[in-house]
Structure 1
């Protein structure tokens, strides 16, 4: 089958899925956080805990996704995730109860895992079964596009609607996006067990390499989650940059949209590990720029560096999973996601507490940037073993 229209529909469904589950259900919280803190009793520490609970939901969903192999079950969970993304977005505007917010953020995290891991996998599965190239970069542009959509929507709505009404408007947008994301992704076809698996030989890396990369991915989770959660609130508190936080989030999203494609090109030219190291170092710089000197130029440059790397890092690790475990990439990604997910739970809660104690987010950003540097060193150590590029025969046997 080589229908370009059908291929375009499936890819569009993949992009819209990520716009909904990542851009709206997950990331709308970031630009709306300052308004919620201003118009409700939500404090910085509670805001951090809500973010942590959202990432806990994602972690639970990721672990479940990693052990499911049945395509029909994956398809059902994907579609449940789309509905949950819309329902939990609406729920955020229906209450001011912290416990109910926590429940909605948890299930929003589950929906994100369903869309990000299961939905993207279903799109890739359809593409490969129909002899198309796996367009991972095109799919993952939905993350950045979703962030940009929320930034523009919140910037437009801020002067017209209160925090509650903004959640409802985003719910309506999400409900519209759900329709093509649901309809344009075909139901999976039944495939006899064992098809294509005979030609796929796994080449697992060595144990030390795995530990180093897993620890580095934990560091990447810390670096990612602090800026991704608090960037709008951080920038709005900087001298002379009041109200510019949504702009930074918009720039971050626009930079994230093409980043998976760009880092894939870098990896092909310079190697996957070299690309990961470069992305980690650039992200460390991007995290720190807004607090080094509170200027609009450095803030936007930091947003570009951060947005242009965090999706790329995830995609490079996904590529690594496909190289080591082509027959069962979930084995590798399950371990990586647990490491990344734990960081996403701990870091925002810790950052919110630091903000309450110190009065600003600077310490949290310095910590996140330093953690990314540690992660870069761990990646260099992993690369020095050369196990990541050429697995040893002993590792392959395991």
Structure 2
């Protein structure tokens, strides 16, 4: 295996990709692995049940399979890349996500479908851990906010597509929809194929910082990112139901708020990246915590439709926009320890996935236990955002006082 390493390294060094091409590859990866592989399943769920592929309870378990796979991919992504190369792993994971769509076009059995939904999530988790850090290591620091925003905009585009493209494809049939999504993913994989940067960026070459970065700010960042994952759950899971049943406005009106959520998710990373390039990732992150806290609590206050629309757009924007902010902040915190940046991002992603899953199940239980009290869910989400802000402020003050 060792004899292969110089060959792989030399090939990638001889064909360095531009930062712009790498950013496009990262965008395609987030669109395929997260935007489509995860979020396209939501509008497909009623069609799967209506076509009697699976009953409602089994179909819900199939949705959970993707989340479980995502966690597995986030944990194993770097190990997979270490055995071959990062570029090889990124290409393989995009192909795997594409293949999963084709495989799901035939409901052979519950186990078959579960396995492919799990593998689809695994691909998404690995792509989240590997794609952005690989690209951003080659982007000048002054442009990392914008580049990160473009990369993670792919997630928002996928959310928006889940509410627009999928219904159009479903007019041709359920099986044709799965095949169509698989074809789109293959095209995106082909676009990204030669766009991945060299295996090692110049910034990663110094070897003098081999000790772990003893940094309380880094640990605080892990907690803040995980709390954000929990804080978004009320909107991500209960927003449509809150409008449809809680406000008595029906499913069609509730779906419109989800479209607004998707629009926010599409532009959020780009706007957050531009803000970070202007005022720095740390300040931008604290500003985002304040805005998120205000926006998440809006449904609990009963302020009316206009405010709820604003809340939907803003929270959607930060669901995707906070990701490049946290990754950029991580790069700032570990600026003198570049070799640790990828492993730190993996830790943050795993913590995010765990907290999101725990919050989803926990708030669902609380919702049932409270007799359908929506307000308490949004208040808990707001509390998580406020706590993230407080932790960040305290961590920065402690770091400045050292």
Taking structure 1 as the reference length, the TM-score comes to 0.78
CA contact (8 A) 2:289 2:386 kept: yes
* Counterpart residue number, 2:248: 239
- Tell me the C-alpha RMSD between the 2 structures: 3.9
Once residues 103 and 391 of structure 1 are traced to their aligned partners in structure 2, the CA distance between those partners, rounded to angstroms, is 51
State the 1:80 CA deviation. 1.2
Q: Which has the higher relative contact order, 1 or 2, with Cα contacts under 8 A spaced 6 or more apart?
A: 1
* C-alpha deviation, 1:72, in angstroms: 5.1
1:218 match? 226
Aligned positions, number: 382
Mapped partners of 2:64, 2:280: distance in 1: 33
Whole-angstrom CA distance in 2 between matches of 1:291 and 1:98? 39
Task: Determine the structure 1 residue equivalent to 2:384.
Answer: 374
Quote the Cα distance in structure 2 between the aligned partners of 1:246 and 1:240: 10
Q: Contact 1:81 / 1:112 at 8 angstroms: preserved in 2?
A: yes
- How many angstroms does 1:324 deviate by? 1.9
Structure 2 counterpart of 1:166 = 177
Q: CA deviation at 1:10?
A: 3.2
Give matches, 1:95-106, under 5 Å.
Answer: 95=107, 97-106=109-118
Change in CA separation of 1:77 and 1:350 when aligned onto 2, cut-off 3 Å: same
Q: CA deviation at 1:379?
A: 3.0
- For residues 11 and 304 of structure 1, the distance between their equivalents in structure 2, rounded to whole angstroms, comes to 25
Which aligned pairs between 1:158-197 and structure 2 lie closer than 5 A?
Answer: 160-182=171-193, 184-186=194-196, 188=198, 196-197=205-206
> Relative to 1, partners in 2 of residues 1:344 and 1:211: Cα closer, same or farther, differing over 3 Å?
same
Q: CA deviation at 1:260?
A: 2.5
Distance 1:161 1:246 in 2: 21
Counterpart pick for 2:100 among 88, 92, 103: 88
Q: Which moved more, 1:327-336 or 1:231-240?
A: 231-240
**Aligned residue among 146, 151, 155 for 2:163:** 151
- Contact 2:265-2:319 at 8 Å conserved across structures: yes
Quote the Cα distance in structure 2 between the aligned partners of 1:339 and 1:118: 16
Structure 1 segments unaligned to the other structure (5+ residues): 393-398
Give the structure 2 partner of residue 396 of structure 1: none
User: Which residue does the alignment assign to 1:32?
Assistant: 44
- Name which of structure 1's ranges 287-296 and 110-119 shifts more when overlaid on structure 2: 287-296
In 2, the alpha carbon distance for the partners of 1:284 and 1:153 equals 31
**Which residue matches 1:343?**
355
Give 2:327's aligned residue: 318
- Which stretch of structure 1 is more off in the superposition, 249-258 or 144-153? 249-258
| CA–CA distance in structure 2, aligned partners of residues 285 and 191 of structure 1 | 39
State how far apart, in whole Å, the 2-side matches of 1:32 and 1:236 are: 19
For residues 78 and 188 of structure 2, what CA distance do their matches in structure 1 show? Answer: 26
- For residues 141 and 31 of structure 1, the distance between their equivalents in structure 2, rounded to whole angstroms, comes to 20
CA contact 1:144–1:252 (8 Å) conserved in 2:
no
How many angstroms does 1:211 deviate by?
A: 4.7
What is the Cα deviation at residue 245 of structure 1? Answer: 4.4
Q: C-alpha distance in 2, partners of 1:359/1:87?
A: 42
CA distance in 2, matches of 1:270, 1:10: 25
CA positional deviation for 1:369? 4.7
TM-score by length of 2: 0.78
Gaps in structure 2 of 5+ consecutive residues: 1-12
Secondary structure of the residue aligned to 1:185 is coil
Contact 1:13/1:185, CA 8 A, preserved across alignment:
yes
In structure 1, the partner of 2:77 is 65
Instruction: Give the Cα–Cα distance (whole angstroms) in 2 for the partners of residues 199 and 224 of structure 1.
Output: 39
Contact 2:299 2:378 in 1 (8 A): no
Matches of 2:385 and 2:105 in 1, distance apart? 37
